[in-house]
Structure formats: structure tokens, C-alpha cells
Amino acid sequence: MPYLFVIPFLLTVLSFSAQAGNIAKDPLNSPMWEYLAEETFGENATIIVDENLKIFAPTNAESNFQVPVSVDASALGKVEEIVLMTDLNPFPIAAHFFPMKAKPYFATRVKLNEGSVIHAIAKTPDGIWHMNGTFVSAQGGGCTAGPQQTAQADWADHLLEAKGRIWQRVDSERIRLSLRHPMDTGLSGDVPVFIIEEINFKDANGLLLSRFELKEPISENPVLTLDFPKGGAPLRISGRDNNANEFDVEVGTR
């Protein structure tokens, strides 16, 4: 008689196990998606396709070195992390964005080594990852060609120069940060990887508001755009590259 109770329990457990760790297939049929999803998020991750997560990029890249991409996860509510993935690049992960106090929105530019699906994957507090993507047609070589600025004799004198601006929007303050850095992938000649790894956004009291982890596909001389709640300016922005070079700048409204 006890077995009558055990069987339904086992069926419930098996049903839950089948649902957990479900990685959705990519509607755009990126050949690398399932492999990259398992490698990045783990085979037990739950990833769903969600059109409420918006990702914008040009259909055809004018330059495979500077492809504009923006991601807006505002419709998902609270978001803990957004991963930007350039599927067919030699280094697919472009950035990890931790919104924290910022809105779950950002814009930047990436390098593409060939035409590729670009995915955005956002994690909500329930542990579910929400995925959407777009395909960008691009010519080859965005990741294997050396950065242009290192051909200039004085490029090192301007390393990690930072400029920023905050302007008012209807319901937020938008900040745009630009940095001087080659963001070298290490795939050109004997030049090692040389990239900005971390950027932190803090308020005037030093409270961490948001942060980025950047990877090789982010374009030379990175540009980042974020939205913060009103009343946060000025902001203190700091970061470092993988050679321990650092920057620290205050950005206010203009």
C-alpha cells in the first residue's frame, strides 16, 4: 500500500526534473547556441525565449569593428544580470552587465568576426534566464585585425582617457561613457589580449550602483550607455584593464 504514495511522488519529481534545466532552442538557429548556453550557464539552467527582452542591432554592419547593439530588459521587471553573446566570434561572450540600481538597459558596440547571431540573455530573480537575439550580416576580420589606435605613436599617452555625459530623460538620467582603449583580442600577431575588464558606476557617496564586466568582442574605444533613476548625478565611474591600468572619473549633467 505505501508504494501507491511513492509512485505519484516519483512522477512529480521526474516531471520537475524534466522541466528544470531546460535550454530553449534558438529561433534564429544559431549553430553555436546550445553549446554556448551550456558552457556559459550550465546544463541545468532554465533558458526561455522571451520577446519582452529587446535587442537592437543593424541587419547589415557598416563596420565589423564597430557594430552598435542595445539591449532593453525593462519589460521583465527586476533583472539581476544581462549577458551579451556574439555567437560566432572566437570569444563569444562580449559583456556581463549587472544593473543593480540602474535600469536593465544598455547600449554599446561590438566587433564581429563574421555574420553572427547576437544574443542577449537576462536573469530574473526566480533564476530563469530570458533570451532573445538578432542576426547581423558582417564581413570577416573584426576580431583578428589589430586595433587602429596602436598604430599611432602616442596612443599609450591617451590610454583609459574617459569622457562622460549625463542628460535628463522623462523618467531617468541617461549616461554615456567613452573610453580610449585598444581592446585587443590577442588574435593579431604576437600581441597579447589587452582589454578593459571591469567598470563600476557609483554615486557621490561611493555606493555601487551598477557594474560591467567587458570581454574581447567589445569594440576598440568602448562606448557604454546606461539609464539611472533621476537624482543620481553626479556619478563616479572607475575601472581597470587586464594589465592593472585604472581610471576614475566623475560625470555630471551638462
Region label for 158, one of left (φ > 0), alpha (ψ between -120 and 50) or beta (otherwise)? alpha
pLDDT at residue 252 in the model: 85
Distance CA 212, CA 224 (A): 10
pLDDT of 66-115, one tens digit each? 999 999 999 999 999 999 999 999 999 999 999 999 999 999 999 999 99
pLDDT of 212-241, one tens digit each? 999 999 999 999 999 999 888 899 999 999
The conformation of residue 188, written as its DSSP 8-state character, comes to: S
Q: Where are the domains of the chain?
A: 22-251
pLDDT at residue 139 in the model: 85
CATH homologous superfamily, domain 22-251:
SoxY domain (2.60.40.2470)
Confidence category of residue 254, pLDDT binned at 50, 70, 90: low
Distance CA 140, CA 113 (A): 5
Burial class (CB in 10 A: 0-12, 13-18, 19+), 168: exposed
